[in-house]
Amino acid sequence: MDTEKSFKAQLKELRTGILEMQDYLKNERISTLIIVTGFDGAGKGHIIHKFNEWLDPRTVSTTAFWHQSEEERERPYFWKFWNYLPSKGRTALFFGSWYADLIAQKLCDGLPAETLENRIEKIRFFERMLAADGVLILKFWLHLSREEQLSKRSELEKNPQFHWKMQSVDWSQEGHYDRFWETSKLVIEKTDQACSRWIQVPAFDPDQRDFLVAKAFVHNVQHFNTELNKLRKSPAPSLPMIQVNSGAVSANPIPIPTPSLTELSPLAMDKMEYKTLLPDLQDQLFELAWKFFEQKRSVFLIFEGWDAAGKGGCIRRVVESIDARLFDVIPISAPSKQELSHHYLWRFWKSIPRAGRMAIYDRSWYGRVLVERVEGFASAHEWQRAYNEIIDFENQLIRPGHLVLKFWLEISPETQLKRFEKRQVIPFKRFKLGPEDWRNRSKWSTYQVAASEMIEKTHTHLCPWHVVQADNKRATRIEVLKTIVQSMSQAASHGKVDSSGRSA
> Could you tell me the smallest distance in angstroms from the CB atom of residue 74 to its own copies?
8
Amino acid symbol at 228: L
Least separation in angstroms between residue 139's CB and its own copies is 17
Question: Which positions ≥6 away from 485 have C-beta within 8 Å?
Answer: 281, 284, 285, 288
Cβ-Cβ contacts under 8 Å for 298 (sequence gap 6 or more):
292, 353, 355, 356, 357, 358, 359, 397, 399, 402, 403
Q: Which CB atom, from 273 or from 323, has the smaller least distance to its own copies?
A: 323
Beta strand extents in 314-364 (DSSP E only): 327-331, 358-362
Least distance in angstroms from the C-beta of 39 to its own copies: 16
* Closer by beta carbon to its own copies, 216 or else 329: 329
Q: Cβ closer to its own copies: 344 or 383?
A: 344
The closest alpha carbon to 293, from 496, 462, 77, belongs to 496
- From CA 504, how far away is CA 497, in angstroms rounded? 15
Give the nearest distance from C-beta 259 to its own copies in angstroms: 27
> What span, in angstroms and rounded, lies between the C-alpha atoms of 204 and 43?
9
Beta pairing class for 327-331 and 403-410: unpaired
Q: How far is the CB of 317 from its own copies (least distance, A)?
A: 11
DSSP character at residue 198: E
Q: Smallest distance, Å, CB 56 to its own copies?
A: 5
For its own copies, the closer of residues 44 and 209 by Cβ is 44
Q: Which is nearer to its own copies, 242 or 355 (CB)?
A: 355
Nearer to its own copies, 50 or 474 (CB): 50
Q: Where do contacts with its own copies occur on this chain (CB under 8 A)?
A: 15-16, 18-19, 23, 44-45, 48-49, 52-54, 56-58, 62, 64, 66, 69-71, 95-96, 160-161, 164, 283, 286-287, 290, 312, 316, 319-320, 323-326, 328-329, 331, 333, 336-338, 354, 362, 427-428, 431-432
Which whole-number Å values give the CA distances from 429 to 360, 436, 494, in the listed order?
Answer: 21, 16, 42
The nearest distance, CB 298 to its own copies, in angstroms, is 15
Q: Which is nearer to its own copies, 263 or 431 (CB)?
A: 431
Nearest distance from C-beta of residue 395 to its own copies, angstroms: 25
Please say which residue, 270 or 320, places its beta carbon nearer to its own copies: 320
Give the residue from 149, 271, 131, 103 showing the smallest Cα distance to 193: 131
For residues 118 and 126, what is the distance between their CA atoms, to the nearest angstrom? 12
CB of 286 or CB of 420, closer to its own copies? 286
Cα pseudo-dihedral 416, 421, 425, 430, rounded to 10: 60
Residues paired with 200 in a beta bridge: 141
| Residues paired with residue 62 on neighbouring β-strands, in sequence order | 93
Shortest separation between residue 146's beta carbon and its own copies, angstroms? 25
Among 224, 208, 196, smallest CA distance to 50 is for 208
Nearest one of 149, 168, 94 to 127, comparing CA atoms: 94
